[in-house]
A = this chain, B = another copy of it.
Amino acid sequence: MKILVVDDDRDLLELVAFALAQAGFGVVKAMDTHSALAMFDAELPNLVILDINLPSGSGLKVCRAIRGRSSVPVMMLTVRSEEEDLVKALEIGADDYLTKPFSPRTLLARVRALLRRAGLEAGDSLAAGRLRLDLESHSLTIGEGSAIRLTRLETRLMQLLLAQAGKVVNAERLLAHVWGQRGSGDRQLLKQLVHRLRQKIEPDPAVPRYLHTESGVGYRLTID
């Protein structure tokens, strides 16, 4: 999912870009109207975040230009005093707006809502380092590799390990998460599941690169 961010304030631009990148989005940056449109044509992003107040001609022009060539979702960044411009932006065809200052959390929630509304949502997925788990389709992607299909239990195991990526996860906790009360105390269940998961995801299952054993404690997912 690629997002174009346009803002002439370098600090804010970097902040927004960082927050988006952190959340797993691909980010393209521009600081003026001209390069914004050039970037748009070159990269064809799935969403555009656009400061309404740019020095070289207003953000409205960029918005209009983008609307002229695509129906991609556009989110405007405004300050409260620009009420007037905001109305124009929405009339031109911007889809949403965010009033500065805003928290990264707000930004992400809005961006996700926009993508969802546009039907571009990536689905329920969880990522850390080179690993990305799609909970919807039960598939795991490593780096640029092809997706590996996981079973229901493997997905549940991966879910907790990935959520706690880099940290050791207690065996008892893994058991509880995957099997519920039933699995309590049964090491063999976990042993087997780890074995089967390693066969699928490790280049050399005998020398794990991702799913490491922390002897006497539990397991840990390495993310480099």
A112-136 residues at the B interface, CB under 8 angstroms: 112-113, 116-117, 119, 123, 136
In contact, A113 and B117 (Cβ under 8 angstroms): yes
A83 partner residues in chain B, CB cutoff 8 A = 99, 106
In contact, A109 and B91 (Cβ under 8 angstroms): yes
**A14–B97 alpha-carbon span in the complex (Å):** 28
A interface size (C-beta, 8 A): 35
**A106–B94 alpha-carbon span in the complex (Å):** 14
Residue contacts A-B, CB under 8 angstroms, 9 given: A83-B106, A87-B103, A87-B109, A90-B110, A90-B112, A123-B167, A137-B217, A138-B216, A152-B216
List the interface of chain A (C-beta within 8 A of B). Answer: 83, 86-87, 90-91, 94-97, 99, 103, 105-106, 109-110, 112-113, 116-117, 119, 123, 136-138, 149, 151-152, 167-168, 170, 214-217, 220
